[in-house]
Amino acid sequence: MEAENIIKMYTLIWVLLVVFTIVEVMMIAMAFPPVFILLGVIGLASLKAVFIALYYQHLKYDDIAISWFYLMALFFAIFIVIVFTGGSGVWPIQ
């Protein structure tokens, strides 16, 4: 019985990840302002990263210190993306 619940949970998480990816692609395809695209894509990517870390990397059951380490790295990565794009959502090409 427990194995069926785990399979259902992994399947649900996978479906959510696919839906979030489709929403990200649709946001870029639609003519939203770049700031909304940047915030939306970073937000959904962060949410996907949290789901992957919690369930597929099993951080949900690990010590809280390890989870904080991953969370700090995630925020640092988001900060770097925002800084290098200048908040416009477009990577500068030179």
What is the end-to-end Cα distance of the chain in Å, rounded? 57
Tell me the mean pLDDT in the region 60-82: 82
Tell me the mean pLDDT in the region 1-21: 89
Tell me the mean pLDDT in the region 69-90: 79
pLDDT tens figures, 24-45:
999 989 988 888 888 898 899 9
Name residue 14's amino acid. Answer: W
C-alpha closest to that of 77 among 55, 56, 50, 37: 50
Domain residue limits, the chain: 2-85
Tell me the mean pLDDT in the region 72-89: 80
In whole angstroms, how far apart are CA 54 and each of 4, 10, 25, 88? 19, 11, 24, 30
Most confidently modeled of 7-11, 36-40, 70-74?
7-11
